[in-house]
Amino acid sequence: MSSFFEWLSTSPWANAMNGPEWAFPVVQSLHFIGFAFSIGTIAIVDFRLLGWALPSQSTAELAADLDPWTWAGFALMLTTGPLLFSADAVTYHHNPSFQFKMVCLLAALLFHFTIHRKVARSQAPPLAAKLVGGLSLVLWTAVIAGGRMIAFV
What is the longest distance spanned by two Cα atoms in the chain?
54
The residue (of 20 and 125) whose beta carbon lies closer to other proteins is: 20
Query: Nearest-CA neighbor of 9 among 97, 96, 83?
Result: 83
- Minimal distance, residue 14 CB to other proteins, in Å: 19
* Residue partners of 62: CB distance under 8 A and separation at least 6: 44, 45, 48, 54
The residue (of 25 and 125) whose beta carbon lies closer to other proteins is: 25
Binding stretches for other proteins (CB under 8 A): 21, 25-26, 28-29, 32-33, 35-37, 39-44, 47, 53-54, 56-57, 61-62, 65-66, 69, 137, 140-141, 144-145, 147-149, 151-152
The residue (of 5 and 135) whose beta carbon lies closer to other proteins is: 135
The residue (of 53 and 128) whose beta carbon lies closer to other proteins is: 53
Query: Nearest-CA neighbor of 31 among 122, 147, 124?
Result: 147
- Minimal distance, residue 7 CB to other proteins, in Å: 28
Burial class (CB in 10 A: 0-12, 13-18, 19+), 48: buried
- Minimal distance, residue 128 CB to other proteins, in Å: 22
